[in-house]
Structure 1
Amino acid sequence: MAPSELAAVTFEKPLPGFIPGDLAWHLGMILRGHQTLFADAVAEMPCSVRGYQMLSTVVHHDPANQQALGAHLGIDRTVLTYLLDDLVTAGLVERIPAPTDRRARKIVATAQGLDLLKKMEARVAAAEQTLLTGLDARESAQLAGLVSKLSMAVHGAQPGANPCEAMDHLG
């Protein structure tokens, strides 16, 4: 549902157990806690969180080229170039000609990049478990499923929405 359509919907009652607006506070607290733990977990990664996200995307989503990588992460192409330069200099990724377009560059992880990503993923997983300490295993799995479902619904309604931009503006 588009934001304009949401504005037209009238709700009789607030969310159960919430005063209108409480959901934003709760989501903000969770995001703030995650952001802090996540940044600490990947602190040694060049470009910190952005570097981790880029390397993870290259490995797990295999974008067709540099432009597709930037689009997936919502990173402006000029900023993306500087971030990639840092990852290339660190020996974590390399630029190769894209198989479908010799003018474009595909970003691939190096062996060193794969090793570091594996190490960072273990740290990120531990940080996420720390964040979820107050939940048992069933509740953690349920939360993960619900958050995934909700985020995909929001993405479907707002395909141009940029989660990185939202985090950058948390101030």
Structure 2
Amino acid sequence: MSGTGSGTHDGGRVHAEGDFGWHLGVLLSAYQGSVAPLLGELPHATRGYQILAAVVHGDQPTQAALAAHLGIDRTVMTYVIDDLVEAGLVERRLNPADRRARKIVATPQGARTLADLEERVRQAEDGLLDALSAQERAAFRLLLRRTACRLRNVEPAADPCTAAESALKDIPAPR
């Protein structure tokens, strides 16, 4: 992204047709800067948080399926899971459907840790999105989730996004 993107400024305001990539980059950078310090001693910071959240809220049958769902290389996933196990946040269990495979499950400590982190991360996200009303933030999250799930081509049967969209379907669109 260059400093001369398609978005132009007039009196401190960016035109609506501004550079989409620049907007995403600014938001991602601000997100990382706000959330990373909240993750404290969590192994692998943001990646560890995403894995822990997927383990607590999802139902991936194997470590390989978890890696594929999150788009993480399987060999990298092994190291991250090892560190989360060592921290007492997750454990590997035999998959009842396939005893050769291991399913990653959260420990009680892992579930408590995630609940605490989710609250702090949500507050940081709300701070980043404070230019939006509560309804606009909810709509933004819904639209972002829908777009990300479609791009990841998430399977409908294992799609946490569909459940989240259903839960948020009654939120009125911003005016």
Instruction: Kindly report structure 1 stretches of 4+ aligned residues shifted beyond 6 Å.
Output: none
Aligned partner of 1:32 in structure 2 is 29
Q: What is the number of residues matched between the two proteins?
A: 140
> 141-150 or 122-131: which moved more?
141-150
1:10-159 matched pairs, under 5 angstroms: 17-19=16-18, 22-156=19-153
CA deviations 1:84-128 (Å, max 9, x no partner) are 110111111111111111111011111111111111111111111
**SS of the counterpart of 1:45?**
coil
**SS of the counterpart of 2:54?**
helix
Partners of 1:70 and 1:155 in 2: CA distance: 13
Normalised TM-score (structure 1) = 0.75
One-letter amino acid matched to 2:35: F
One-letter amino acid matched to 1:143: F
Residues 152 and 63 (structure 1 numbering): CA distance in 2 closer, same or farther, change over 3 Å? closer
Percent identity between the two aligned chains: 50
Partners of 1:31 and 1:47 in 2: CA distance: 17
Question: For structure 1, which runs of at least 5 residues remain unmatched after alignment?
Answer: 1-15, 157-171
Q: Offset of 1:152 from its aligned partner?
A: 3.4
Partners of 2:92 and 2:26 in 1: CA distance: 38
Q: What is the root-mean-square deviation of aligned Cα atoms in Å?
A: 1.8
Partners of 1:77 and 1:151 in 2: CA distance: 21
Question: For structure 2, which runs of at least 5 residues remain unmatched after alignment?
Answer: 1-14, 154-175
Normalised TM-score (structure 2) = 0.74
